[in-house]
Structure 1
Amino acid sequence: MPRITANTVAEHRANQERLLLDVAHAILEETGEIGSMRDVAERAGLARSSVYHYFESTEALLQALVEDIFPRWTIRITDAMDAEPEPSGRLVAYALENLRLVHEGAHAVGSALAALSPGEALNEQAAGMHRAIQEPLIHTLEVLGVEDSEAMGEMINAVVHASTRLLEAGKPFNQVSSTLIAVIEPMAVELQRRAAAKTS
């Protein structure tokens, strides 16, 4: 049993799990690979056997990473959208915040997780997290009275994904974000105009 370095066993376990998740996340961001349990243990300053007290396998560690990472992204996107008073502004905020996450390296982590996912359960879990990220977008489109909000959401995400590819190709963030706004904002404003016309 690992030496206890906190006031309680539960607190110690939580601290160690947090450390291992942060280390695994850092390795993913740096290399695009999850690394072995030995890699994670060495970076965390623990014996490899100690890691298995907290995560029984690489798959279990990956699953915990998905549970840890995706809610943070959802909160970032939702908070950015909630800060905008108008639905049109929320659509632009959704696109821009996704782009910022990519710029900060989040997309690389997400891609690595998707590529490395070894089990169906983990794939389903990641898909569920992705759906959670889409929910505020779909809700905003429904508020604007878009009949096929799912299809419109896919179109907006296609623009966002095209923008992320430009970032990954080395284009400057300011340039890509300006182009993204130039595409998304007029569409968002027009959707809001149509929604207002229907209620007037």
Structure 2
Amino acid sequence: MQRAALLDAARSLLSEGGTEALTFPALAERTGLARSSVYEYFRSRAAVVEKLCEVDFPVWAAEVSAAMERAHGPEAKVEAYVRKQLELVGDRRHRAVVAISASELDAGAREKIRAAHGGLVSMIVEALG
């Protein structure tokens, strides 16, 4: 529950104030934990963002997939994909992950994000095919 609270606080901080706002003291303050407790869950800001991606990307993909499954025909599926993606771009979960620069993430984290995006892209490629 504390990890989930930390992730929710991180989403809010990133969404509200960008990269600069995501600090361990701010996470501690938002969750009521001691700063040292935050380090028990995450070793760095990049680790927080990596976990956000790990948790949120499957949710986004499921939402896009569900929207496309409800659509009938290829054109409707493409439209559903685009509409859902545009909707998700405005979601604070997405804004939070985008707020931190990729340069702060290690190669493994960047690869996980690329793979998750690849899964989203494959949905539209299939519909376009």
Normalising by structure 1, what TM-score? 0.59
1:96 to 79, 83, 86: 83
1:46 aligns with 2:33: yes
Structure 1's consecutive aligned runs of 4 or more residues displaced over 4 angstroms after TM superposition are none
Q: Is the 8 A contact 2:52 2:97 kept in 1?
A: no
Identity over aligned pairs, percent? 33
C-alpha change, 1:51 and 1:110, in structure 2 (3 Å) is closer
Q: Which has the higher helix share?
A: 2
Partner residue in 2 for 1:126: 113
C-alpha change, 1:62 and 1:104, in structure 2 (3 Å) is closer
Partner residue in 2 for 1:75: 62
Q: Deviations over 1:135-184 (max 9, x none)?
A: 21111122xxxxxxxxxxxxxxxxxxxxxxxxxxxxxxxxxxxxxxxxxx
- Give unpaired runs (5+ residues) of structure 1: 1-14, 143-200
SS in 2 for 1:46: coil
Equivalenced residues, count? 128
SS in 2 for 1:28: helix
Q: Is the 8 A contact 1:36 1:58 kept in 2?
A: yes
Which one scores higher on RCO, CA 8 angstroms, separation ≥ 6?
2
Q: Deviations over 1:49-106 (max 9, x none)?
A: 1111111222221211111121121111111111112121000011111111123345
CA distance in 2, matches of 1:108, 1:116: 17
1:56 to 39, 43, 55: 43
The structure whose Rg is larger is: 1
Partner residue in 2 for 1:7: none
Partner residue in 2 for 1:139: 126
